[in-house]
Chains A and B, each alone.
Chain A
Amino acid sequence: MALDSKIPAGKMDEKWGKYKSTCKLVNPANKRQLEIIVVGTGLAGASAAASLGEMGYKVKAFCFQDSPRRAHSIAAQGGINAAKNYQNDGDSTYRLFYDTIKGGDYRAREGNVHRLAEVSTNIIDQCVAQGVPFAREYGGLLSNRSFGGTQVQRTFYAAGQTGQQLLIGAYQALERQVALGNVTMYARHEMLDVVKIDGKARGIIARNLVNGELERHFGHAVLLCTGGYGNVFYLSTNAMGSNVTAAWKAHRKGAFFGNPCFTQIHPTCIPVSGDHQSKLTLMSESLRNDGRIWVPKKQGDNRKPGDIPEEERDYYLERRYPAFGNLVPRDVASRAAKERCDAGYGVGSSKMAVYLDFAAAIERYGKIEANKQGKSNLDKDAVIALGKDVVKEKYGNLFDMYAKITGENPYEVPMRIYPAVHYTMGGLWVDYELMTTVPNLYALGEANFSDHGANRLGASALMQGLADGYFVIPYTLGNNLADDIRTKSIPTDHPAFIAAEKEVSDRINKLMSIKGKESVESFHKRLGKIMWDKCGMGRNAEGLKHAIKEIQQLRKDFWSNVRIPGEVNEFNPELDKAGRVADFLELGELMCIDALDREESCGGHFREEFQTEEGEALRDDEKFMYVSAWEFKGDSQYELHKEELKYEIVHPSARSYK
């Protein structure tokens, strides 16, 4: 099957405009006859469900949490990008487009990314109109900050709770449609399969997590907005429930999986403290605006950070990348931290950490504040007190979170941080219209592979999720469904529904019947360790080959020795989790296969065999300038399809932040 990305013809900055004005429309009377299933209520799903409900479609929305407002998007901290150029610092649609393409290490599609940059400004307008309380300046206008990989200030934020405020905005719009009867909400429901009829996605099988019953739901189209799969690594910054199940079921039903190995390891997370650890906590990238990252110049230096004088500190990012300093993109910052720790310069009891230090920022802000208040003769302590207030206003909730978790006061001692799995650029392959290789099955938000290439820039996931849901799918869905208006609702006693439900039910019964000795949690941990060690920040052919064998073995163990307590027909979180881990055990293998195939280093994918003498990633555009789209052909069998990437506007060059 040849992959068609369906990028519209024409000039880059006219493609989307032309698409919008020429795409097919569905008239209001017909919309009422069309049923849409939206799985997921994060930024992508909630914005899509609300918008489609407003337009008159009959929408059913699903999430596994107890309320749509709890989707993992709620945890996003730092901000959302938009090319508003409110700061008049030279930003533009083109610059956001360019930064995203370059940040993605030339592995993203130009057409998609340009559209994303174009609609970015509408997102901010929409959210403000909904009452999202973004940070503002004293003049009453919106405030911005900078994020990694850019030299302009284009990030909009609401303290360290941007995702929360954006999601609440979308959630409220969604609840409004629920109250109006345009959307039916199914919380505590988990989608467990896609139903295909005549080759098209026409519904889902979902499990009611409260009573364990399986349900059949018809839809003319199915939208998967189910988030990323970083939890395949067990430890990540994702919420505990984040999983790949919906995307994986779709993959098994014919949707190609794009670039599964492209994982983002975020440089600033609280380090692992012990074996008991269940998840890792992000310290927002916005902290790198003001925090300076360093390690001691001496190996194994056990002095307290405050006792290490300035000239014995190595601000290694500022040293290696003077142009971007502490604001290099995430993949670069993470690898640099690993390099220092592996070389024996790490800090803290585990020695797998580096310092993120705010002392300089506190002093600088203190002086500015003292000047503002006209107090020129304050002593150092008073200046520092003023500076702490400023830092508190900017990052207070993050500092509090750090203090609660570590028991240390980051206003006094530098934070200890280390990279952790954070985001997955890979996901279901979609075309320009966000449709997967299964007709009428769409993927939005982090669940698709589309816009970030091999590395995502900070504050761009929220932008993409809302772009997909508010501004892209309302057009592209109509363009397809205009040809489907004669399709009547298909009753769910159709043989395809019965067969799909049976498949799901058989699998659940099989899981329950194993009655082995090892817990689901324990299998998940073991998988995570393989993935982190061999398919994490550094990868090589030998390790990946090993990992594939280990995962296959682990999967066998799982299916013969997992222990799931309780019953099928009751509230049973262990059973829910078992299904998710079973899917991770398949995905993990595909990620390793993909990482093995890609014999180059690009973005978050670092193959140790392919690096420059200075340890920078070595891309191979001759051989690998393509999207890897994997087709499921049976257990452990995947066929690679390549979508060649053509760059019309930005000319790929070695990515330098020096």
Chain B
Amino acid sequence: MQHYNMNLTLKVWRQRSNKVKGHFESFQVKNISSEMSFLEMFDVLNEQLVAEGKDPIAFDHDCREGICGMCSMYINGRAHGPWTQNTTCQLHMREYKDGDTIVVEPWRAESFPVIRDLVVDRSAFDRIIGAGGYVSVNTGNAVDANSLPIEKQKADEAFAAASCIGCGACVAACPNASAMLFVSAKIAHLALLPQGEPERKNRAVNMIQQMDTEGFGSCTNIGACEAECPKGISLENIARLNREYVGAIFSGSNNG
């Protein structure tokens, strides 16, 4: 890999809190190495701002390994930027060349209010999980793990659905700000496993109800979520969710 340095123009969304209006602000950054990660480039910019006595740009991040789901930038019109199946923190600067302009915004969705700059509140996702995204098993009651063999293919499919990192890119990418991909991934993960079977119907109904309560939009099968999902969560999960939901409604969930 040939390394090079570049100068860039950044247009970044600034918003001090959710009580005030936001705006774009432009910055110049110099000598950015192609080996840096996108967030390291932001670190450089923030150091520069601190040195100039200005407020650094607030952004969420933690693991910087593409697994915690905390980073969340909307880069040149795409959730998590241009690379497929990738998080913001794993995007690297070799994608860009000298002189480029990069526009960076927060996730935009009513259910994800802005906290500051690029930081949004995604606690709605936690409440959706709380509505049914679990198996009701208290600590200490489990039987031997190998007493219930699970077909490898099913286990692998459940794993693929379970690899969702709860980042919210699917919502940000969706013109309707729907959370269907996120919700369907959890429902599929648990529906595919025998452990999830007993609560299957209630789970689908309750999670969808919570999703509506949180104000997420409805799904009209656009597919932008799948295209931007960093973990390759597939639209098939949404189809499965619809089957689960319809099944639950028709057979009557014991949800009262």
Contacts and interface: CB of A to CB of B under 8 A. Distances in A.
Contact of B123 (A67, A86, A281): A67
Nearest to B196: A131
Interface in B178-197: 189-190, 193, 195-196
B53 interface: yes
B150 to A, nearest CB: 5
Contacts of B189: 131, 133
Given A69-B166, A131-B190, A278 B141 contact: no
A171 interface: yes
Interface stretch (A136-144, A452-460, A624-632): A136-144
Interface string A101-134: 0000000000000000000001011111111011
Contacts of A277: 40
A159 B166 CA distance: 18
A158 interface: yes
Contacts of B40: 276-278
Interface in A57-92: 65-70, 72, 74-75, 84, 86
Interface string A310-347: 00000000000000000000000000000000000000
Given A67-B122, A519-B50, A86 B146 contact: yes
Interface in B111-137: 115-116, 119, 121-123, 125-127, 129-131, 133-137
A125 B135 CA distance: 14
B139 to A, nearest CB: 4
A277 B37 CA distance: 9
Contacts of A408: 1
A522 B51 CA distance: 11
Nearest to B122: A66
Contact of A276 (B36, B53, B90, B116): B36
Interface stretch (A353-361, A431-439, A501-509, A563-571): A563-571
Contacts of A302: none
B54 interface: yes
Interface stretch (A29-37, A173-181, A293-301): A173-181
Interface in B90-109: 90, 92, 94
Interface stretch (A160-168, A591-599, A611-619): A160-168
A239 to B, nearest CB: 4
A507 to B, nearest CB: 21
B196 A133 contact: no
A78 to B, nearest CB: 13
A140 B94 CA distance: 43
Contact of B69 (A54, A70, A136): A70
Given A125-B145, A175-B126, A74 B195 contact: no
B53 A565 contact: yes
Interface stretch (A252-260, A368-376, A399-407, A649-657): A399-407
Contacts of A68: 126
Contacts of A74: 63, 67-69
Interface string B18-61: 00000000000000010111011001100101110111101011
A408 B2 CA distance: 11
A240 B94 CA distance: 23
Given A239-B64, A571-B115, A137 B152 contact: yes
A239 B115 contact: no
A543 interface: no
Nearest to B158: A133
> Which interface residue of B35, B56, B139 has the most chain A CB atoms within 10 A?
B139
B155 A133 contact: yes
Contacts of A66: 60, 70, 121-123
A407 B140 CA distance: 46
B58 to A, nearest CB: 6
Contacts of A140: 149-152, 155
A86 B147 CA distance: 12
A142 B150 CA distance: 9
A164 B67 contact: yes
A274 B35 contact: yes
A364 interface: no
Contacts of B142: 122, 125-126, 128-129
B240 interface: no
A519 to B, nearest CB: 5
Given A75-B63, A185-B126, A566-B55, A130 B50 contact: no
A127 B94 CA distance: 40
Contacts of A176: 130, 134, 136
Interface string A187-222: 100000000000000000000001000000000000
28 contacts: A51-B140, A66-B70, A66-B121, A67-B166, A70-B69, A125-B142, A126-B140, A128-B145, A130-B195, A135-B155, A142-B145, A159-B159, A163-B67, A164-B67, A173-B139, A176-B136, A179-B130, A240-B61, A240-B64, A276-B44, A278-B40, A278-B64, A279-B64, A405-B90, A408-B1, A519-B47, A521-B43, A571-B58
Given A84-B145, A172-B133, 20 more contacts: A54-B138, A66-B60, A66-B123, A70-B62, A74-B67, A75-B67, A129-B143, A134-B145, A136-B156, A140-B155, A159-B159, A172-B135, A175-B133, A175-B134, A239-B63, A276-B43, A404-B66, A408-B1, A470-B140, A563-B53
Pick the 10 closest A-B CB pairs, nearest first: A140-B149, A179-B130, A172-B134, A129-B142, A125-B142, A133-B159, A175-B130, A407-B1, A128-B145, A571-B116
Interface of B: 1, 16-17, 33, 35-37, 39-40, 43-44, 47, 49-51, 53-56, 58, 60-70, 83, 86, 90, 92, 94, 115-116, 119, 121-123, 125-127, 129-131, 133-146, 148-152, 155-156, 158-159, 162-163, 165-166, 189-190, 193, 195-196
